[in-house]
A and B are shown apart, each in its own frame.
Chain A
Amino acid sequence: MQDIQQFANEIGLDLDLLACIQCGKCSGGCPVSITTALNIRFLVYESLLDALPELVHMEELWDCTCCFTCVERCPKDVRPAELIITLRNQLVESGKIPGTIGEALMGIFRQGNPLGLAREDRALWAEGLDVKPAREGCDTLLFTCCYSAYDVQSQPATKALVRILHAAGVDLGYLGTEETCCGNEVKRVGEKAMFDEMLVEEGKALLESVGARCIVTTSPHCYNTFKNEYGLEGIEVLHYTQVLARLLEEGQLKLSVPVEKTVTYHDPCFLGKQNKVFDEPRAVLRAIPGLNFVEMDRIRERSLCCEGGGGRMWFEGTNTEDRLAFQRVQEAVDTGAEVLAVACPFCLAMLADAAKVKGLEEQLKVMDISELVVQALGDGG
């Protein structure tokens, strides 16, 4: 136990194994505790007793999505998910990680993105959009998630966001090919050294060098790590839904074209549960004229994880038959919604894929909030 506790503290985690009362609130709320072998409560107990099996045989350690539901709900502040990150760190240090995760890390190391695509292609999505290079000075720095920049499924949302921010008169800048992965998932798959020494150290300097008043991220994951882990000084970090909600409230963004659709919304864990941003995405959707907003049953603090976080974009998981995203798209369909709105490129990928696999594509379109907002802009956008 002492070893694990000490190791956790050494890598800057607040894990507190000794506080645990084995109540099961963590495992009871863990989204993958029914579908996989992962039992976070039992892992804490085994760690306390120094009775863990050999880590390399515990493939379920990679099932954790780092949604942090366990951390949010643990009455004793054990911070159970940080045990997983601790154990993953130990595996990373001995090089025993799933191959696909290793490839993603290598991609970040070489090209600055987990997809391993060429760095010089990072800004291709922005062609024709006239996004100002951040180096020319800007009030608001746009930071695109690697998926927002490279993934063809996410790019329409990224483009839409730029059109919206331009229409609202935001002085927007972009780092282009200088931009590098934020490392939120890198930290969570246990690559502490790479996160600290490469991504934060270089990233922090880069972000601060722009001199922008605020950073707007496309992804809740970048938002989370910039806001809570980078220690950025003098820069406000905002998720784009917060910026849009603010622009709408202040009247700088005007939506006039009706979007006659019934829409529901899926809370991303890194935006909702972990950072308590529940209201702004909903405010943005409700501000779209003609849009009929409906809620699913499991929302806000009780939202169901899409299974895309914590490195799961790069690791299938031990149960590919019974994905949470399958449940989630069905829940969305059950509300009568035609559109499942998301605010995260990972959620978009997971849920759009699930709709496809489940044959619900005709009934349910998974769209980023910015893709809906841009429709309401009309010709102005």
Chain B
Amino acid sequence: MSSDKPAALIIGAGIAGIQAALDIADAGYPVYLVEREPSVGGRMAQLDKTFPTLDCSSCILTPKMVDVGQHPNIRLMTYAEVVSVSGEKGAFRALVRKKPRYVDEEKCTGCGACAEACRMHGRIIDTFNQGLGMRASIYVPFPQAVPLIYTVDPEACLYLTRGKCGNTFKCKDACPADAIDFEQKEKLVELDVATVIVATGFDLVDPATKPEFGYGVYPNVLTGLEFERLSSASGPTAGKIVLDGKEPEDVVFIHCVGSRDPHGGIPYCSRICCMYTAKHAHLVRDRLPDARITVFYIDMRAFGKGYEEFYDRVKHEGVLYRRGEPSEVYRRGEKLVVRAEDTLLRRTVEVEADMVVLATAVVPRADEAQLAESLSLERSPEGFFREAHPKIRPVESSRAGFFLAGCCQGPKDIPDTVAQAKAAAASAMVVLAAANRA
């Protein structure tokens, strides 16, 4: 990485952070790309297909992940968190905490022998798969991970939680590269950077806040993100839409779970749910040609390029759109029942379902407030990072030299996220060029 030029720090390596990093690095400036998870990729790595073109998410993301891993101007710092950033535009100093992986990054070849050998193999909830699958205490979140280096989960590892793992370390014994190192300690690294891009992404509404839908009560009530993992070829069912070994005959989708809801959720429209649900409905039709598919909606918002056309297509594929927000899910015999008023019929109906998918809303990261505090950034009333001006300074943050990209600023889809990331990169390069001249 060239050291004679001012550098950028990018926090978060989802599609926004990745894209911004590649643009700045391609322009010849060094980039520190910091990601708290063991791999880059973010939410997009969890998705199956993308609307409205139905490109495979991994297929268009993975090459970019590989690029950031190999780019001479990018220093990837995964499993690391930014603690604080002091200084001012053009001359920031960032403190980064590198968490111990308990695996030597230089030695690990990513072969996976450790995970196979781990005593907890197949017994730890796989968060990347939204809990639909299990993994070991030592893991890579997904096969295409960048870097492809194993990480010991400190909350799941028997040795790290109890101080003992049988009479011998199964993982250590299995590792052909002698890469496992339980002596590793957390490291603090200081970085001098001229500018910062914040691209920390989003969380989803906790569906338990809407108890009427029975999420957590019925295993066949899923969130949209769980459906993505179920439908993904790299997911726990290898892309088969099956629950408990059975293909659903009746699938019901529910829009606006938690969104447009100042009463018990969030007041704003979360923007992406109409379209991701249309995509999910398409995917069900694609895999299960005979399934009866119903989407309950309040208002259909297909606002982007090619979106209304995609909605038209999905309807023509035999997906039934019914106007009305369901109010309740319960069980009747073997089936779930979704109770809703079909407001166009002006009649309350009970629609049977074998699988119910909740379009949960995009919300700020659970620790967004904490991050705002440590980075001295302001937030909008709904909790996302606030842009300097909603119209004419949409990627600048409240702190000079800090820029925003992706859903940490507000809900957006992939095209808008990439566009904002490229805008943030351009804005950051203005700062970098000025610092370079100085």
Contacts and interface: CB of A to CB of B under 8 A. Distances in A.
A74 B210 CA distance: 11
Contacts of A33: 341, 348
Contacts of A42: 346
Given A24-B340, A300-B211, A39 B330 contact: no
A73 B212 CA distance: 8
Nearest to A40: B341
Contacts of A41: 341, 343
A124 interface: no
Contact of B328 (A21, A28, A75): A28
Interface residues of B, number: 29
Interface string B248-275: 0000000010001111110000000000
Nearest to A29: B327
A302 B262 contact: no
A39 B346 contact: yes
Given A75-B263, A77-B262, A297-B331, A23 B324 contact: yes
Contacts of A75: 256, 260-265, 325
Contact of A73 (B214, B327, B329): B327
B140 to A, nearest CB: 40
A24 B341 contact: yes
A28 B347 CA distance: 9
B371 to A, nearest CB: 28
A302 B336 CA distance: 13
Contacts of B323: 24
Q: Pick the most buried of A21, A24, A27, A33: most chain B CB atoms within 10 A of its CB.
A: A24
Interface in A78-136: none
Contact of A25 (B214, B327, B329, B330): B327
A302 B256 CA distance: 19
Given A297-B330, A302-B330, A28 B262 contact: no
B347 to A, nearest CB: 8
A302 B212 contact: yes
Interface string B311-332: 0000000000001111111110
A21 B348 contact: no
Contact of B214 (A21, A27, A29, A302): A302
A76 B269 CA distance: 13
B126 interface: no
Given A28-B339, A75-B263, A302 B211 contact: yes
Interface footprint category on A = 20 to 34
Contacts, number: 84
A302 B328 contact: yes
Nearest to B261: A75
B174 interface: no
Contacts of B348: 27-28, 30, 33-34, 39
Contacts of B105: none
Contacts of B298: 21-24
Contacts of A25: 325-327
Nearest to A78: B263
A76 B327 contact: no
Interface string B279-323: 000000000000000000011000000000000000000000001
A67 to B, nearest CB: 12
Contact of A23 (B214, B256, B262, B342): B256
B121 to A, nearest CB: 35
A226 B299 CA distance: 40
Contact of A28 (B211, B256, B264, B327): B327
Contacts of B331: 297
Contacts of B343: 22-24, 27, 41
Interface string B330-372: 1100000001111100101010000000000000000000000
A332 interface: no
B211 A23 contact: no
Contacts of B256: 23, 75
Contact of A26 (B211, B260, B262, B327): B327
B402 to A, nearest CB: 34
Contacts of A28: 324-328, 339-341, 348
A301 interface: yes
Contacts of A21: 260, 298-299
Contacts of A298: 330
Interface in A193-248: none
User: Which of A25, A26, A76 has the most chain B CB atoms closer than 10 A to its own CB?
Assistant: A25
Contact of A29 (B260, B328, B346): B328
Nearest to B323: A24
A228 to B, nearest CB: 17
A296 to B, nearest CB: 10
Contacts of A77: 262-263
B330 A24 contact: no
Q: By CB atoms of chain A within 10 A, which of B261, B299, B341 has the most? A: B341
Interface in B358-417: none
Q: Output the residue of B325, B327, B329 with the most chain A CB within 10 A.
A: B327
A20 to B, nearest CB: 11
A135 B328 CA distance: 48
Contacts of A301: 211-212
B286 to A, nearest CB: 29
Contacts of B211: 300-302
A263 B379 CA distance: 51
Given A39-B341, A42-B346, A24 B324 contact: yes
22 contacts: A23-B260, A23-B298, A23-B324, A23-B343, A24-B325, A25-B327, A27-B327, A27-B343, A28-B325, A29-B339, A30-B327, A33-B341, A34-B350, A73-B212, A73-B327, A75-B260, A75-B325, A77-B263, A298-B330, A300-B211, A301-B212, A302-B329
Given A24-B325, A24-B327, A28-B348, 20 more contacts: A23-B343, A24-B340, A24-B342, A27-B343, A28-B324, A28-B325, A28-B341, A29-B212, A30-B348, A34-B350, A39-B346, A39-B348, A41-B343, A74-B263, A75-B261, A76-B261, A76-B263, A77-B263, A298-B330, A302-B212
Interface of A: 21-30, 33-34, 39, 41-42, 69, 73-77, 297-298, 300-302
The 9 A-B residue pairs with the shortest CB-CB distance, nearest first, are: A29-B327, A28-B327, A75-B261, A24-B324, A24-B341, A27-B341, A23-B325, A33-B348, A28-B340
Interface of B: 211-212, 214, 256, 260-265, 298-299, 323-331, 339-343, 346, 348, 350
